[in-house]
Each structure stands twice: as structure tokens, then as C-alpha cells.
Amino acid sequence: DSGVTQTPKHLITATGQRVTLRCSPRSGDLSVYWYQQSLDQGLQFLIQYYNGEERAKGNILERFSAQQFPDLHSELNLSSLELGDSALYFCASSGDVGGTEGTGELFFGEGSRLTVL
């Protein structure tokens, strides 16, 4: 158990709809990262938050948005869903930015599998 909790684990919805994925990081971790893994693909970095502030942005579509709340949990909002948005969405967390703690390893949740029909 990585200590990172993601809900829901599975989600099936229709094109054009909006969904929210939720992530609770490990206790004490300030950084939250969101990744997208499409079928048989590697992990694509979407966005990172650190202590409530956006820290880095990757290939995140304008239809997608995220935020990190004061209690450090994060939500990824996906709107106007398309078939191609079907993927496994991972949340990961880590300690201080800059690799000052340990190896800078990311701890991953089990993922939220989104299916858009």
C-alpha cells in the first residue's frame, strides 16, 4: 500500500460528460502529480501541485483542470469527455520538491480507470 488513495477506481461515462477524480496523497506529502496512461502507453505527465500551488504543467488539455485543496487532497476535473480520454489516470505524491527527501520517488495510487462510451 503506497498510502496514496484514489477514487473512484472505475468510472464509465458518456461522451460530452464531466467527471471528477479525487486523490489523497500520503500523509505529509506536499506534492501531487497527475498522470494519464492510455491503452498500452507510457505515463504522460499532466500536472503537478505543491502545497496548493500549481508547480508544473505537462500535456494537459484545456478541457481538463486540477486543483489542490488546503488539506492537500487533489481533484482532476475532466470535461466534454471524448472517446480518446478513456485511460487510467494516476495520482502520485512525494515529499519536498527538489529531491531533498530520499530519492524523490513518487508514490502512486492504484489509479482511476475511466471509460468513455
Partner 1 sequence: AQKITQTQPGMFVQEKEAVTLDCTYDTSDPSYGLFWYKQPSSGEMIFLIYQGSYDQQNATEGRYSLNFQKARKSANLVISASQLGDSAMYFCAMREPYNTDKLIFGTGTRLQVFP
Residues binding partner 1 (CB under 8 A)? 2, 31, 33, 35, 41-45, 48, 55-56, 58, 88, 90, 92, 94, 97-99, 103-108, 110-111, 113
99: Cβ contacts below 8 Å, ≥ 6 apart = none
Q: Which is nearer to partner 1, 56 or 80 (CB)?
A: 56
Q: Which is nearer to partner 1, 85 or 95 (CB)?
A: 95
Q: How far apart are CB 57 and partner 1 at their closest, in Å?
A: 10
Let me know: does 93 contact 106? Beta carbons within 8 Å.
Answer: yes
* Dihedral class, residue 82 (left if φ above 0, else alpha if ψ from -120 to 50, else beta): beta
Task: Report CA 68 to chain centroid distance, whole Å.
Answer: 11
Q: Which is nearer to partner 1, 75 or 110 (CB)?
A: 110
Cell of 102: 530520499
Q: How far apart are CB 1 and partner 1 at their closest, in Å?
A: 10
Task: Compute φ and ψ for 37, nearest 5 degrees.
Answer: -125, 105
Q: How far apart are CB 27 and partner 1 at their closest, in Å?
A: 18
Give dist(CA 32, CA 70) in Å, integer. 13
Q: How far apart are CB 16 and partner 1 at their closest, in Å?
A: 26
Q: Which is nearer to partner 1, 1 or 14 (CB)?
A: 1
